Amino acid sequence: MIDYEKQSLKLIETAEKLLSDNTVDVVLGVKDNPEVGWPTPYFARKPEDAKKLVWTEDCHVNLANYLTEVKGKKAAIAAKACDVRSIINLIAENQLSRGDITIIGMECAGKMQNEKLASACDACPASVPNLYDIAIAADGSETYKNLEMPNSSENVTEWAIHTTVEERLDRFMKEIDKCILCFACRQACQGCYCVTCFIDRKATPWEQVDADTATKMAFHLTRAMHLAGRCTDCGACEKVCPSGVNLKYLFKGLSEFVEETYDFKAGMDPEATPVLDRYSSDDKQVAFLGGDSIVGI
């Protein structure tokens, strides 16, 4: 379906060209890493570096995060559809400037992790990025093929309607029980770019970081709240967790709610104002005493 060899060659060729004519200072991509078992981030800074770049079926890393680190420099990034949603999100929130970034849009039909389709990928709506400067299609050409995506992820709203509060609490507790509060999920997340995270603030002892249930609950719920309408479903949090915590359903459930109630989807339009940064005087009275009832739940 996807010719990774041709995509790799095309990517190297593109990166070499961009670096040698000084269009960009750095190309963000991935290189082989036999120890880890899948390709890991690589920053190509010289035209001869470009040869190390690869593109494979298991290069599932979201590189958007690294763009904030090379801020101010001209950077090109090899990006899948989900990475591009993250980049758009960062542009919309004034973390990146569009003019500095050259997006090399890689066509993608889902990435493999541990020999199966990464669980984030089954929710992916499109094989093609919605914003790009240079296209590298499935066959290495420049015309996207618009491959069919599995799109078989669970509908969290449906799930919530058909479960009881206790069942939902069970699922949540089972996940956070595994958590060791290492905050790898936060570090890997494109949306978590705060200089000092609320959980790290020293001035107010809101949270004491000893892995008790109350702290874990407060951390994960607040993080989910902060990512409401901003999560781009890239699955980086889940891929990076050393304990196998998977709370993506919370983020997904909120995305569904935001889309349904406020008609907003993260990572679609770099010009859009984030959903919690604006209001409308005729917003529904969802969740209010005597107001419009919350759908199903």
CB nearer another protein, residue 1 or residue 287: 287
Dihedral (C-alpha) 142, 147, 150, 151: value to the nearest 10 degrees? 70
CB nearer another protein, residue 12 or residue 64: 64
**51 DSSP assignment:** G
CA-to-CA separations, 81 to 125, 132, 259, 267, 272, in angstroms, rounded: 9, 10, 19, 10, 18
Cα 171 to Cα 277: distance, rounded to the nearest angstrom:
31
Q: How far is the CB of 182 from another protein (least distance, A)?
A: 5
Q: How far is the CB of 144 from another protein (least distance, A)?
A: 28
Q: How far is the CB of 114 from another protein (least distance, A)?
A: 8
Q: How far is the CB of 103 from another protein (least distance, A)?
A: 20
CB nearer another protein, residue 1 or residue 209: 209
CB nearer another protein, residue 21 or residue 166: 166
292 φ/ψ sector (left φ>0, alpha ψ -120 to 50, else beta): beta
Q: How far is the CB of 297 from another protein (least distance, A)?
A: 5
Cα 22 to Cα 36: distance, rounded to the nearest angstrom:
32
Query: What b-and-e string marks burial along 176-210, b requiring 16 or more CB atoms within 10 Å of the CB?
Result: beebebebbbbebbbbbeeeebebeeeeeeebeee
Tokens representing residue 108 in the block: 């993608």
CB nearer another protein, residue 46 or residue 98: 46
Q: How far is the CB of 112 from another protein (least distance, A)?
A: 15
Residues 6 or more apart whose CB falls under 8 angstroms from that of 99 comprise none
CB nearer another protein, residue 108 or residue 192: 192
CB nearer another protein, residue 74 or residue 168: 168
CA-to-CA separations, 203 to 110, 199, 208, 261, in angstroms, rounded: 43, 11, 12, 36
Q: How far is the CB of 102 from another protein (least distance, A)?
A: 19
Query: Is residue 224 within a helix (H) or strand (E), and if so which, with residue range?
Result: helix 213-226
